[in-house]
Structure 1
Amino acid sequence: MQHALGLDVGGTKCDALLVNEEGEALAWGHYDCLDPATGASNGGSGRDAANICAVLQAALDGRHFDVLHFGSHIEPPAWMRQSSGPLANQRKLTNSAVFEFLGAHTARLIGHPASEQMPALVMNGEEYGISVLAGTGAVVYCRTENGEELRLDGLGPILGDYGSAYQIGRMALQAAAKSGWHPRHQTSLERILPGVVRIMYKKDNLVEFSLSTTERTEIAALARFVDREAEAGDAISRGIIEQAADSIVETIRDASDRLKIADKPCLLAGMGGVAANSRIFWERVCRGALAFAPRFRPALLRHPPVLGFALHALKAFTSIDQAVLRERMIQTSEPLIRLKGKPQTGERHDA
């Protein structure tokens, strides 16, 4: 029997899922930089090779395979045999150690690379549309029916990442530092964030944290606290979330104008921790996008993106209907995810 392994690597987390050729989820591995059970430390990263290998170890669960199909957005080394087109991911995140680890568990490793944004389309049953990735970084990816592709942003925190968790975290730090200047700047972040950085990063104050942090993931991890304060009624926090949403709406507009699809029916699929877990953010994105593209169909990726990568690899060698595989994978993976205790940071909402 052949198997498929999906791997999703992000700035603050990493997931791996093993499925059989029937689409049944067999094992799950998860890393989150805020979860003490995963060995989180100052600056823990989902892109670290050691963390990725630990997640893969959990997903492979001691098995050895004759043939293992591997779906991911990370770039394999030159020696790895591939079965599909070139990777869209331009960041080239992973070194050979990860694939050497996989190679030790299978006689034949077949790669099925895909763009980082692909799961939002595939898990919504579409091959075409707009995928809005708002996580640690931010990317808008478009694929049209005639095969045109466009990827905007993903430029990192200095040049871009408009609408990202990093943008939210950075603005939150600035707002907390400015809170005492005048009553109009007052925000609950002034009280919340110093305690967060003290517990998470062992820093005595926000100034020390801002001058010492070298990982954008550390700042991005603050976004969930900003969203919580926004939901609790803090006006400054809500303004930060809405400003980030407006930033990525501008990227969506740029992409849709360039591909001339603003007047066409088109899936607008959100994914990433910010889009999936912030109701305020996603509703603002939907309102902004529908204002210039009223035929867009907003939807959220309600399941971990790793399912999309596993499905992408799985459909390359099975004749089972993709919708059947998707539903079976969702149903059988949910107990594994709960068992592993994947942290939930908020409810997910469609617009």
Structure 2
Amino acid sequence: MAIRTMVLEAQPDKAFMEANPEVGTFILVVDRGGSKCDALLCREDGTALATGRSGIEDPEGGRSVGGSGRSRRSLERAVSQTLADFSPAFLHHNISPDPGPPIEPLRGAFQAMWHAVREQDCPMELAGLEWGMVAIAGTGALVYARSPEGREVLLDGLGPELGDHGGGYQIGREAMRAAACSGWSERRRTSLAEPVYRACTGESPEESGWRLVDYSLERRDRAEIAALARIVDREAEKGDSIALRILQSAAADLAQTVRDAAESAGLLATPCTVALSGGVGANSRLYAEHLQAVLAEHAPALQVVQVKHPPVIGAALVILRRISGEDYPARRARLLETAGELFRTTPQPAQGG
């Protein structure tokens, strides 16, 4: 476990905590995805207390080449929302230090311990896997494998130009291409045209496709393009054949990366779980079904399971496991129950790709 403190290196002062039960020790975790930054605050007993979110759908969120959710502004807003009603004395957190001063919400007079939590650790913990595979299809895409012997393989996450095979950006880009040529002939006609044009230009489509040209040539936050994946999924569910083809093509691309990682980790013929996460992977039925269908041809021992809990809950579980003893199973159950309730009852914008 890597450790870094924002104020000083320390363990919680138990005497102070006992004298000030309203303060206590908290766990603050963030999930900085391409489209959004989620934050979650909980107590060390696993009780979830508050959530926050900022990103591409937040008018005051930040923008970044790596995606809105990875911007400093979105991070600050998500953490500020989460800590609004709390004043921690000791904070376990996973917020990686950026160049420059700490973000505003973390400049308080409290002690803190930083925990390194990798993106792939969150779905693994949520799925309860000691070994197995993770496939993340969000704004981008990556695949992780861990063998029973501890061999680890991490593939992709290379960004939209070199990789991210099967991610939301790829799906959104193909949706724009399909919408642009929808008016060329009857065989190219797709129900994607109207909603994609509206999302990108605010106007209805025309046959030439030129209205999308200016939009496509501008420097854009890649989360904007990835957000179009939701439109593709919706239209595919309605029966649009072009939308379905785009979605299935992306799932097939991710399946190839899963196959590569499984082979490198020695898991290709070993029955194991593939924990499917990310905005696209966790939420699209058609995507998950096609991923499983492609894997059934080349790696039938691999079983895809959609991880429905947000990754930020997985990050909290990773830290909770590290600071808990034998009571971790009870704390885990409490966090899943209380955090799940928070995410169900707190209004949240729909996730991007």
TM-score, normalisation: structure 1: 0.85
Instruction: State the match for 2:91 in structure 1.
Output: 68
Tell me the equivalent position of 2:163: 160
8 Å CA contact 2:125, 2:314 repeated in 1: yes
TM-aligned CA distance change 1:42 to 1:306, over 3 Å: closer
Q: CA deviation at 1:130?
A: 0.7
1:159-215 Cα shifts (integer Å, max 9, x gaps): 011000000011111111111222211111222211111349xxx931121011422
Q: What SS does the aligned partner of 2:29 have?
A: strand
In structure 2, the residue matched to 1:29 is: 52
Deviations 1:264-304 (A, max 9, x none): 12120000001011111111111222332222232111111
Percent of aligned positions that are identical: 39
Aligned-residue RMSD, C-alpha: 2.4
Structure-1 residue corresponding to 2:250: 244
> What is residue 118 of structure 1 aligned with on the other side?
121
Question: For residues 108 and 327 of structure 1, what CA distance do their matches in structure 2 show?
Answer: 27
CA-to-aligned-CA distance 1:48-73 (integer Å, 9 cap, x gap)? 1111111111112243323211135x
Alpha-carbon separation, structure 1, partners of 2:43 and 2:145: 30
| Structure 1 counterpart of 2:309, one-letter code | H
- Alignment partner of 1:158: what SS? coil
Q: Measure how far apart 1:330 and its partner are.
A: 2.0
Residue among 245, 250, 274 paired with 2:280: 274
Aligned to 2:134: 131
Amino acid at match of 1:175: A
Higher deviation after alignment, 323-332 or 258-267 = 323-332
Which residue in 2 is equivalent to 1:289? 295
Residue segments in structure 2 that go unaligned for 5+ positions in a row:
1-23, 204-209
The residue aligned with 1:169 is 172
Alpha-carbon distance change, 262 to 321 in structure 1, aligned in 2, over 3 angstroms: farther
Taking the TM superposition and a 5 Å limit, the aligned residue runs for 1:324-339 are 324-339=330-345
- Deviation digits for residues 98-122 of structure 1, max 9, x if unmatched? x454542352221111211211110
| Counterparts of residues 31-110 of structure 1 (less than 5 Å) | 31-35=54-58, 45-71=68-94, 75-76=96-97, 94-97=98-101, 99-101=102-104, 103-105=106-108, 107-110=110-113
- 1:67-100 Cα deviation digits (max 9, x unpaired): 211135xx33xxxxxxxxxxxxxxxxx4444x45
Shift of the 313–11 alpha-carbon distance from structure 1 to 2, 3 Å rule, reads: same
Question: CA distance change for structure 1 residues 96 and 118 in 2, over 3 Å: closer, same or farther?
Answer: farther
Ranges in structure 1 where 5+ consecutive residues have no aligned partner: 77-93, 347-351
Contact kept in structure 2, 1:125 and 1:323, CA below 8 Å: no
